[in-house]
């Protein structure tokens, strides 16, 4: 929304449509948040009953379905290992080329991968599986975003 007035108009339209569908609907407000944008990645992990927890990283969006471009490591590990994982993804070579502005935040991605590995390791008794899909890698300094952030 370009300005607050346009936002108010759209919010009233949404509330009006809801009231038409269900006249007794109780609407306490409208939640507005930034639309997540960036390069889509998949980040997740599994606690395998035999081998223990491992982390999976891959390109998201159409890349995940078309080229099945993923890599994995057993947890836990550090940011250097996370960087190795990023470099193994064929689609990750596009990250520097996709940006016309600032570079994408590879450091933040590596940090998130390493932290997820420790989360899975530290809580292996409570986490069977975890997926962040998509995880939006954004320009440096703008943080990573899951789609509902």
Residue of 40, 38, 35, 94 whose CA lies nearest to 64: 40
Model confidence, pTM: 0.77
pLDDT in the model for residue 139: 80
Q: Measure the CA–CA gap between 36 and 138, rounded to whole angstroms.
A: 9
pLDDT-derived band of residue 31, with 50, 70 and 90 as boundaries?
confident
CA neighbours closer than 13 Å in the CB half-sphere of residue 92: 20
- Cβ atoms of 53 and 120 closer than 8 Å: yes
Please determine, for residue 100, whether its predicted confidence score (pLDDT) is greater than 70.
no
Q: Measure the CA–CA gap between 122 and 120, rounded to whole angstroms.
A: 6
C-alpha 23: how far from chain center: 36
């Amino acid at each position: 929304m370009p300005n607050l007035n346009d936002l108010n108009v759209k919010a009233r339209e949404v509330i009006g449509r809801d009231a038409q569908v269900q006249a007794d609907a109780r609407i306490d407000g409208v939640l507005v948040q930034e639309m997540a944008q960036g390069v889509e990645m998949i980040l997740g992990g599994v606690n395998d009953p035999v081998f223990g927890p491992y982390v999976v990283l891959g390109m998201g969006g159409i890349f995940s379905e078309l080229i099945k471009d993923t890599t994995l490591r057993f947890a836990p590990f550090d940011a250097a290992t996370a960087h190795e994982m990023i470099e193994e993804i064929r689609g990750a070579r596009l990250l520097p080329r996709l940006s016309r502005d600032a570079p994408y935040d590879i450091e933040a991605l590596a940090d998130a991968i390493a932290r997820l590995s420790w989360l899975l390791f530290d809580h292996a008794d409570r986490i069977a599986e975890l997926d962040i899909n998509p995880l939006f890698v954004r320009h440096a300094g703008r943080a990573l975003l899951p789609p509902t952030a």
